[in-house]
Amino acid sequence: MSLDESWFSEPVPEHGTAFSLKIRHKLHEERSAFQKIEVYETETFGNLMVIDGCTMVSTRDNFIYHEMVSHPALFSHPHPRNVLIIGGGDCGTLREVLRHACVETATQVDIDERVTRVSERYFPELCESNGDPRAQLHWQDGIKWVKEAAPGSCDVIIVDSTDPVGPAEGLFSLPFFKDAFRALAPGGLLVQQSESPLLHTKKIIRPLHDTWKEAGFADVRTLHFPQCIYPTGWWTATLACKDAPIRFAREREAENKPFETQYYNADIHRACQATPEFLRRALG
């Protein structure tokens, strides 16, 4: 049984699930040096970007993901001046990071420039901060960039990657995490998208906790949020502090933030760190 051509569907055969959106037509298709990039106009979710057959971002719900991989980490750091984003080629995370006036530099390193160029055309709202003088965009290998980063040069590192396959596989490895640990300043935070707890607890979330602790991080927590275009609609980002317990360092600022968000607020910040019982048992 298959859907007709008026639907885009992302199946996950090993888990017996699929996500589908009804589409009007395909807006763009290309194969970059690294991956296949497609953009569809959907009936109810605006534009949809697909990379190598996997849903990446939609106009309607991207704000949840971008806010949740950015603001919990930034409000958990007392003075996040220098932020490094690995991946994030659609530039939505960069936009959220630059909402914080205390950020002095936001460096985005993505291996595929074409993702950004396609986003500029079909998701211009995500790219509205690309011209901010604090923004630095580089299209290079993020693993190599972190390996060569000066020790203590980053306050926050955000790994806004695709699934841990292909070009992104090395972003889930112990050598990369050790390099990130070294690149972080005292009190520094690392945050990384960590897939669905319903599908990936054993394969990704638990190994991530174990590997980050092996790399030297003092505290690791997984944050939960909805993301309907991703498998199961339940997604996570995992947050770690280099040398101290994670705390809500800028709680008052979050409660009275000088910029608008659509999902994140101080209550969400507190609530997203609650751990469901099945995950608590899995994490030991």
Q: Hey, which residues are catalytic here?
A: 160
Element (H, E) at 17: strand 17-31
Q: At what angle do helices 206-215 and 174-183 cross, to 10 degrees?
A: 50
Let me know: does 140 contact 167? Beta carbons within 8 Å. Answer: no
- CA-wise closest residue to 248 among 224, 263, 268: 268
Distance CA 20, CA 198 (A): 18
Cα–Cα distance measured from residue 244 to residue 189, given in angstroms and rounded to the nearest whole number? 10
CA end-to-end distance (rounded Å), the chain:
41
Burial class (CB in 10 A: 0-12, 13-18, 19+), 207: middle
E strand or H helix that includes residue 82: strand 82-87
**Residue 81 near residue 156, CB atoms below 8 Å:** no
DSSP structure string for 186-207: EEEEEEEE---HHHHIIIIIHH
CB 155 within 8 A of CB 74: no
